[in-house]
Amino acid sequence: MESVIQEQIQAFRESRKNRGRLLINCPDKSGIVATVSKFLFQHGANIIESSQYTTNPEGGNFFMRIEFECPDILSKKEVLKNEFNDIAESFSMEWKLTFVYDLKKTAIFVSKELHCLRELLWEWQNGDLLTDIALVVSNHEDSRGIVEALDIPFCYIPASKENRAQVEEKQLQLLEEYDIDLIILARYMQILTPSFVEAHPFKIINIHHSFLPAFIGARPYDRAYQRGVKLIGATSHYVTNDLDEGPIIEQDVLRVDHRHQIEDLKKSGRSIERSVLARAVKWHLEDRVIVHGNKTIVF
């Protein structure tokens, strides 16, 4: 299985070895698109996909995502970054230039509920989640078998309120050791401390089993049942120090009625959670998300 997955990854990297992505966020003014396009043209790049959005044509913010092909791009990395920096300064840009060949390395955190983990692993095996899953971290042993069967390192770290500081210290060491770019909380039922979150700003994606902002925190299905809701949902968002209030990446809902008991809500909700988290992770991996305040622009 490992060889098949590695072959898929290598084929993807080879087919996109000259592909780059540019994300831009800046005050809106005339000339941005023309200047960026000219810069890419001067370096022999061909624009494959371009998306843009302005919050307000008069004094708003401008957002842009460009995906482009550029011959021998990997040998031009530093030149492209250094030369674009001058443009960025002239337009007061926040920007990020990434190279598709350099797959992002991810770590998945999980507890006892394994449906989101299984979905991510299935998408990864199927070649639809292009990332290097470097390790899986869990405070339970339940997922060890399915993870190690795919030759992915599994790290069991029992966690509770009493040992949170020691646990996070070890987790942070692992994330540094494996050079992790993205942390995915696939129903990891532990609250992260401010120091952990601040070490990885907007690089931690969570799935909350509710259509936020409804039913923030624990046991949302129980509270949804007590409230008699007619819709249940799931929300994938970046983690901040405000519980379940980080920038939302993706959401979805499912209609329910008075016949559904709590366990029915949970069972139905799992399918929403799986798909919502998988989409959010894909969009992040494809550099389609720009965070602006406590909102996101998803191209």
The structure tokens listed for 139 are: 């405070």
Contact 132, 153 (CB under 8 A): no
β 182-185/46-54 pair status: unpaired
Active site residue 132: no
Can you tell me the distance from the alpha carbon of 74 to that of 20, in angstroms, rounded to the nearest whole number? Answer: 9
Reported as type and span, the H/E element at residue 21 is strand 19-27
DSSP state string for 191-208 = PPPHHHHHHSTT-EEEEE
Provide the 3-class DSSP secondary structure of residue 290.
strand
Reported as type and span, the H/E element at residue 61 is strand 61-69
**Active site residue: 28, 142, 151, 244, which one?**
244
Can you tell me the distance from the alpha carbon of 240 to that of 293, in angstroms, rounded to the nearest whole number? Answer: 12
Of 102, 106, 204, give the one whose Cα is nearest residue 147.
Answer: 106
Of 78, 123, 103, give the one whose Cα is nearest residue 14.
Answer: 103
Question: How large is the greatest C-alpha to C-alpha distance in the chain, in angstroms?
Answer: 63
Q: Which residues are the active-site residues?
A: 244
